[in-house]
Amino acid sequence: MALAESEFIWKNGELVPWAEATTHVLSHSLHYGSGVFEGIRCYKGDEGSNVFRLVDHMERLINSCKIALIPVTYTAEELVAATVETVKANKLEECYVRPIVYRGYGTMGVDPTNAPVDVAIAVWPWGAYLGEEALEKGIKAGTSSWRQRSNNAIPPYMKATASYMNSILAKLEAKAHGYEEAVMLNEQGYVAEGTGENIFMVRDGIISTPPVSDGILPGITRDTVIQLACDLDIPVIEESLTRSDLYTADEVLFTGSAAEVTPVASIDEREIGGRGPITKAIQERFFEMVAGRHAEYADWLYPVA
Ligand code: PY5
CA of 225 to the centre of ligand 1 (A): 14
What is the helix (H) or strand (E) element at residue 101, kind and residue range?
A: strand 95-103
pTM of the model: 0.98
Q: Taking the domains of the chain in order of start, what are their residue ranges? A: 8-124, 132-290
Q: Mind telling me the catalytic residues? A: 159
How many Å apart are CA 113 and CA 110, to the nearest integer? Answer: 9
- Ligand 1 within 6 A of 214 CB? no
Q: What is the CATH T-level fold of the domain 8-124, as seen in this structure?
A: D-amino Acid Aminotransferase; Chain A, domain 1 (3.30.470)
- Spatial contact of 280 and 28, defined as CB atoms under 8 Å apart: no
Radius of gyration of the chain (CA): 19
Q: Which CATH superfamily is domain 132-290 in?
A: D-amino Acid Aminotransferase, subunit A, domain 2 (3.20.10.10)
One DSSP character per residue, 179-239 reads -SEEEEE-TTS-EEE-SS-EEEEEETTEEEE--GGGT----HHHHHHHHHHHHTT--EEE-
Topology agreement, domain 8-124 and domain 132-290:
no
CB of 171 sitting under 6 A from ligand 1 = no
pLDDT in tens, the chain (305 residues): 579 999 999 999 999 999 999 999 999 999 999 999 999 999 999 999 999 999 999 999 999 999 999 999 999 999 999 999 999 999 999 999 999 999 999 999 999 999 999 999 999 999 999 999 999 999 999 999 999 999 999 999 999 999 999 999 999 999 999 999 999 999 999 999 999 999 999 999 999 999 999 999 999 999 999 999 999 999 999 999 999 999 999 999 999 999 999 999 999 999 999 899 999 999 999 999 999 999 999 999 999 98
The closest-lying atom of ligand 1 relative to the alpha carbon of residue 98 is 19
State the SS3 of 209-223.
ECCHHHCCCCCHHHH
